[in-house]
Structure 1
Amino acid sequence: MLEVSAIQCQFDTQTVVDNVSFHINPGDICCLLGPSGCGKTTILRAIAGFQAISQGQIALSGKTLSSPGYSLSPDLRHIGMVFQDYALFPHLNVYDNIRFGLGKRSPAEQKATVGKLLELVRLNGVEQRFPHELSGGQQQRVALARALAPSPELLLMDEPFSNLDADLRKRLSLEVRDILKELGISAILVTHDQLEAFAFSDHVGLLHGGALQQWDTPFNLYHEPVNPTVARFIGEGSFLPGRVGLEGNQVETELGLLVGNRAYPWPPGSPVEVLLRPDDIVLAPDTGIEVIIERKIFSGSATLYTLRLPTGSQVEALLPSHNDYEIGGHVRIATRLEHLIAFPQKTDVLSSASEPVL
């Protein structure tokens, strides 16, 4: 439905988005994820028609929206937008804020549409209130209803939950997702919060330095990152040096021989870095390698431990919180993984003493 093809965006002579391509199918909910300054909001503004592109093309349902030297007016794009600060009209009540984009419809159609949306976003009974009389969550619902009122083909959301407290942010984002799925409306969310991106989206695009690093499902971004940039940004984990074993799906490390779900093309003995997620590490009291607990973060049902290996390398382990291991204490660990994530080392950081037994 939406096709973004090799677009480039510039501010003066500085390129802030370069050669970004992705597509969205009807009904998909997607996300542009990345740190501040990575270009995600610029891409959203370009899709909305607020930012020109210097290369590439943006098309919606086969109709060109933007190309170099051409930009269809934002009000003709059939795209709705929810801003970070909601951008509600302070002098209009809830009813009139939602009705604002329906000026070309008859009064009866306007009333029916607003009534349906008030029920959908659970704001019945507050339609006569003004924005300053609403909570943050209610204001967000008004902004969503106003954006949905003209029946857009695509909804864009620029960090719409960032002004809410953590609990409300989580609940409202899931409610909004359910509403969009019920209506069958495609959407793009911009956020720097990967947990929010994973919970909200069918597909996520990770941006870094103005370039799209990977466009994939949340599962694949976590378990199958295409490069170290994605691997370091998504989730938690530690890189451990190793060497490729005799089989392409094996890597020898100080935690033993790791066997994964893919065969790498590098010759045996090639130095690599292996990404170990906290859930790849398990306790092995009888057979594991002894490590020292350096720090821990308690999170209720689990505790995240930072563990120092005999060589001084560190890994993280997410363990059930039933047992409380003390900092400075010793435990024995092993690995249990299904997805082996490895990348070539730029330099051979392994000493001769670390040569794998192959």
Structure 2
Amino acid sequence: MAGITLHSLRLSFGQTRAVDGVDLQVPPGAFFALLGPSGCGKTSLLRLIAGLERPGSGSISIGAREVAGPGRFVEPGARGLGMVFQSYALWPHMTVAQNVAFGLNRLSAADRAARITEALQTVGLDGAAARRPHELSGGQRQRVALARSLASRPSLILLDEPLANLDAHLRQSMLAEFRRIHQSLGTTFVFVTHDQNEAMAIAGLVGVMDRGRMAQVAPPQELFDRPATPMVARFVGEGRTLPVTVTALAQGRATLRLGDHSVTLPGIAQPGPAWLCLRQRDLALSTTSAGLGAQVIDLRFERGDYILSVLPDAPDLTEPLEVRSPTPAAPGARVRLTLRSGWVMPRAGGAAETAPDCEPARPLERAQG
């Protein structure tokens, strides 16, 4: 097992700063997910850890060993890690066993055969050694790529969007397989994805990136319940961020004004302008005349309930909220909302942050030997 330490790490492609001063510590043996929208820098950060890119500045340590820093750069093959690409990168003319053996040429024939058997057994493909990649399903090819990484017995496994090419059913089964393998081996895993459900389901620790920076690193439940920034609040769990004014803060609870409604909720924002993060679970239709007034602007039927899109009666609120209801309400109808929970965070001023739409161009992947 090897942990990862990044200090003030930066990488630019021309005028685009893909990684912008990232500091990060991943404990040994962790299953760490790197999450964010396209263009946030997560794949660039993974490639820096792998040694497929050289940092412009900063340092990278794997375990106690610095592998990149001022005047120092350790090539990918000497970093003691395995990597699984989104494309699998399997040799089509080789058998499964030959693909898994790629990079084990320094071992004796007997040791190489033992490693192949061990790796294929670990991923549940011990009966497929003689088959070729075109004879396998997408999930099986993914397992071969993982077995190849495991065969070298690395202290660190990097997975770059490994489930992106699989259908929904296969993604779920491979998530369970990754969890099983991680638990059995204890190897440190770093899993890059843009899918929050994948990250939250598989990882014990999640880092959310935003425009090249690490916005927050926390366990999944903390990211969901206590986001550190508006971007994290919106990206994780499809939260809505509303501008509010905090009137008091005491013992981790903020009293705020939302329109003509006053409420006290968990939060960290000092008195003054703030953001309120709300999700469907935080709202309910009021059964009395109390609560925040709102107008229904749309509805849909989903999983046995009606989902109402409502616009609260509050200044500067132009983004609708969603609330679940057992009965429909026609667009234009007036309702009142009860805020059951939520999370209040600081607002520095200005609009909520946005993320770029696409990732900067980068060199093609190069295979590790």
TM superposition shift of 1:157: 0.6
The residue aligned with 1:253 is 258
The residue aligned with 2:33 is 31
Where relative contact order (Cα < 8 A, 6+ residues apart) is larger, the structure is: 2
| C-alpha contact (below 8 Å) 2:269/2:346 kept by paired residues | no
Query: Which one is further off, 154-163 or 274-283?
Result: 274-283
CA RMSD, 1 decimal: 2.4
The residue aligned with 1:333 is 337
Matched, 1:233 2:229: no
| C-alpha contact (below 8 Å) 1:255/1:334 kept by paired residues | no
Gaps of 5+ in 1: 349-358
The SS at the match of 2:269 is coil
Equivalent residue runs for 1:288-307 within 5 Å: 288-300=291-303, 304-307=307-310
The SS at the match of 1:101 is coil
Matched, 1:319 2:321: no
Identity of counterpart residues, as a percentage? 35
Paired AA for residue 264 in structure 2:
V
Equivalent residue runs for 1:44-63 within 5 Å: 44-63=46-65
The residue aligned with 1:103 is 105
Paired AA for residue 197 in structure 1:
A
Equivalent residue runs for 1:154-233 within 5 Å: 154-233=156-235
TM-score by length of 1: 0.87
Taking a change above 3 Å as real, the CA distance of residues 67 and 92 of structure 1, as seen in their structure-2 partners, is same
The SS at the match of 1:102 is coil
The whole-number CA distance in structure 2 between the counterparts of 1:295 and 1:159 is 35
Taking a change above 3 Å as real, the CA distance of residues 23 and 342 of structure 1, as seen in their structure-2 partners, is closer
| C-alpha contact (below 8 Å) 1:27/1:184 kept by paired residues | yes
TM superposition shift of 1:308: 2.2
| C-alpha contact (below 8 Å) 1:33/1:194 kept by paired residues | yes
- Deviations along 1:57-111, one digit per CA (max 9) or x if unpaired, are 1111111111134311111110100001000011111111112232222333222
The whole-number CA distance in structure 2 between the counterparts of 1:254 and 1:133 is 62
The whole-number CA distance in structure 1 between the counterparts of 2:4 and 2:60 is 7
The SS at the match of 2:52 is coil
Aligned counterpart in structure 2 of residue 6 of structure 1, from 5, 8, 13: 8
| C-alpha contact (below 8 Å) 1:306/1:314 kept by paired residues | no
How many residue pairs match? The answer is 342
Taking a change above 3 Å as real, the CA distance of residues 4 and 317 of structure 1, as seen in their structure-2 partners, is same
Query: Which one is further off, 34-43 or 113-122?
Result: 113-122
| C-alpha contact (below 8 Å) 1:245/1:251 kept by paired residues | yes
The SS at the match of 2:139 is helix
The SS at the match of 2:231 is helix
TM superposition shift of 1:218: 1.7
| C-alpha contact (below 8 Å) 2:37/2:194 kept by paired residues | yes
Taking a change above 3 Å as real, the CA distance of residues 303 and 161 of structure 1, as seen in their structure-2 partners, is farther
Taking a change above 3 Å as real, the CA distance of residues 247 and 56 of structure 1, as seen in their structure-2 partners, is closer
The SS at the match of 2:61 is strand
TM-score by length of 2: 0.85
| C-alpha contact (below 8 Å) 2:228/2:345 kept by paired residues | no
The residue aligned with 2:277 is 275
- Deviations along 1:86-143, one digit per CA (max 9) or x if unpaired, are 0001111111111223222233322222222222212232221111111111100110
The residue aligned with 2:367 is none
TM superposition shift of 1:8: 1.0
The residue aligned with 1:16 is 18
Equivalent residue runs for 1:120-139 within 5 Å: 120-139=122-141
Taking a change above 3 Å as real, the CA distance of residues 36 and 240 of structure 1, as seen in their structure-2 partners, is closer
Taking a change above 3 Å as real, the CA distance of residues 148 and 265 of structure 1, as seen in their structure-2 partners, is same
The whole-number CA distance in structure 1 between the counterparts of 2:92 and 2:122 is 22
The whole-number CA distance in structure 2 between the counterparts of 1:24 and 1:46 is 15
